[in-house]
Amino acid sequence: MVRRNGNQFVVNRRSFYVNGFNSYWLMLLAVDPSTRQKVSDVFRQAASVGLTVCRTWAFNDGGWRALQKSPSVYDEDVFKALDFVVNEARNYKIRLLLPLTNNWEAYGGKKQYVKWGKDAGLNVTNDDDFFVDPNIKSYFRYHIKTILTRVNTFNNISYKDDPTIFGWELMNEPRCESDSTGSKLQGWIQEMAYYVKLIDPIHLLAIGTEGFYGPSTADRLQVNPNSYAGQVGTDFIKNHRVLGIDFASVHIYPDSWLSDASPEAHIQFVKRWMQAHIEDAENILDMPVVFGEFGVSTKNGRFNQTFRDTFIDTVYKTVLNSTRRGGSASGCLFWQLLSEGTENMDDGYAVVLNKEPSTASIMSVQSRRIQSFNSRCNWNCRWNCKKTSSVDETSHHDDL
């Protein structure tokens, strides 16, 4: 299992830094035997450039190929597809970060839970009732228990006992815009974090936030990409002080957060945004921080692949600068990777590695850098075991 030691991840007492990716769609394509190979393809390509953690959905609430068709009712064929994803990741030595539901309407999320509540006659009127209604919260707790205690039909290992799973996220990008004070979401995080740890005290747990600062740190509101970000009910520092939360989660999307900014302004924002969260993870939270989604869209014509590569390299260098000194930046997960033949799922952010060699090369170099740190016994090691460091050999983008 990956565990937390202060502000770092460790495996068998060795540092474990992450270079990873998002492919949210794996379970959906694994349902159909004719498209299951696409899951294997993306794992194979990711492993070829040294990526070690994949973030993918462990939910699909209602709708097409739903995992949870209604509260407490599951489609066994879809669950077997998720079993396949977990087992296939294991075969490629890739660990999984699994969010348990969505803030957004895609694949159900809180909106679907509230709809189920309405259909059952509950007095709910807003999607944010997901965070406070006792019955709807019981629906979600049932889902947590069902996922965590699932026994994989491919290898007979319970999810909660499987080291292939890097950790859990309570929700993808939670927001509670009906309560800018953040109290509703804070209470929900406390309750659900406690429940997850009651069932699975060993796996890592994160919230899944975008990283927006809130009312508890007024001096940090200026770091947010805009004023609205401080009013969506999240509070980076306060949220991550909840007992049971093991690492901080932050996303990076300047192309959707910043209006009419120049490419250079985007890069400067990325550096400030990341550095603020790294500092706070170290000095206030004393926990690792993972930049769980980062990307830039090339679909709308504002940015091209060359800028995207520069953006990726900026994120990687900022993480590495922290890693070099044993800081809290413990990794990042690119949004998103596709395999060939799935381009219809491209949201503008996707990369097919064997079609974009420059991006694949940047990822591969970063993976080698990260692996050189993971090979250290601990942060007091100065290569007394006569190992030689490859970090300095790949410390600059110029070698590409």
What was the pLDDT predicted at 400?
32
Q: Is 76 known to be catalytic? A: no
Band of the pLDDT at 259, cuts 50, 70, 90? confident
Band of the pLDDT at 186, cuts 50, 70, 90? very high
In degrees to the nearest 10, what's the CA dihedral of 89, 104, 100, 194? Answer: 140
Map out the domains of the chain with their CATH numbers: 2-375 (3.20.20.80)
User: What are 203-240's pLDDT values in tens digits?
Assistant: 999 999 999 999 999 999 999 999 999 999 999 999 99
Q: What is the pTM of this model?
A: 0.94
What was the pLDDT predicted at 393?
41
What was the pLDDT predicted at 396?
36
Q: Is 191 known to be catalytic? A: no
298 closest CA partner among 343, 361, 363, 251: 343
Work out the mean pLDDT of the chain and round it to a whole number: 94
User: What are 237-252's pLDDT values in tens digits?
Assistant: 999 999 999 999 999 9
- Pairing between strand 73-74 and 68-70? antiparallel
169, 210, 282, 293: the active-site residue: 293
- State the DSSP H helix or E strand holding residue 96, giving kind and residue range, or none if neither: strand 95-99
User: How far apart are alpha carbons 393 and 373 in whole angstroms?
Assistant: 13
What was the pLDDT predicted at 240?
98
Quick check: 168 and 200 in contact, CB under 8 A? yes
What was the pLDDT predicted at 381?
52
- Omega before 336 cis (within 30°)? yes
What was the pLDDT predicted at 338?
98
Check pLDDT > 50 for residue 13: yes
User: How far apart are alpha carbons 10 and 6 in whole angstroms?
Assistant: 10
What was the pLDDT predicted at 261?
82
Q: Identify the sign of the CA torsion 153, 171, 22, 286.
A: negative
**Which single residue is written with the structure tokens 């991006």?**
359
Check pLDDT > 70 for residue 377: no
What was the pLDDT predicted at 301?
80
173, 177, 340, 393: the active-site residue: 173
